[in-house]
Amino acid sequence: MGRKSEPKLTSRERLNRGLHYTAVGPVDITRGVVGITAHSAESAAATIKRRAREARDVRDDVAAEVEAVKQVVAELPQLLEDARKAKHRRRRRLFVFGSLGLVTVGGAIAFVIVRRSSTPEPSALPPSVEVAPKI
């Protein structure tokens, strides 16, 4: 029906409210700024710690890789020497695998010949059924 109206404030209450909000406003602003600054500093410190930990991990991984490369380079002369000695083995391997291949091929040819000789030859008698169809 009608608007609800707030009770009118007295001059004293109006003065008290104005002073209260005037005093509390800057304090709240200051507290908010300090809180945001503290949170930002904490977040930045956590990020710096995380990045430092990741950098240490990467450094350790790179150091491990460098050690592995050093070890491979140190073993390289020995590997080259072994490769030079292995040439004689290759000839032996080629001979062994070549002879195995020849034996396998010979066995396959013998199998085909035996199988063909065991198949029966066609009968010399004429077929009992007419081969040419009736039209």
The pLDDT value recorded for residue 22 is: 80
The pLDDT value recorded for residue 55 is: 93
The C-alpha angle with vertex 114 and arms to 107 and 95, in degrees rounded to 5, equals 10
The pLDDT value recorded for residue 57 is: 93
- Contact 99/107 with Cβ under 8 angstroms? no
Q: DSSP of 14-79, one letter per residue? A: HHHHHHHHHHHHHHHHHHHHHHHHHHHHHHHHHHHHHHHHHHHHHHHHHHHHHHHHHHHHHHHHHH
The pLDDT value recorded for residue 60 is: 92
Reading phi first (left if > 0) and then psi (alpha if -120 to 50, else beta), residue 120 is in: beta
* Helix (H) or strand (E) run with residue 119 in it: none
The pLDDT value recorded for residue 48 is: 95
The pLDDT value recorded for residue 83 is: 73
The pLDDT value recorded for residue 49 is: 95
Radius of gyration of the chain (CA): 49
The pLDDT value recorded for residue 86 is: 65
- The per-residue pLDDT string of the chain (135 residues; one tens digit each, 9 = 90 and over) reads 456 677 787 788 887 887 788 877 777 878 888 888 999 999 999 999 999 999 999 999 999 998 988 888 888 888 888 777 766 666 777 788 888 888 898 888 888 888 777 666 666 777 676 767 666
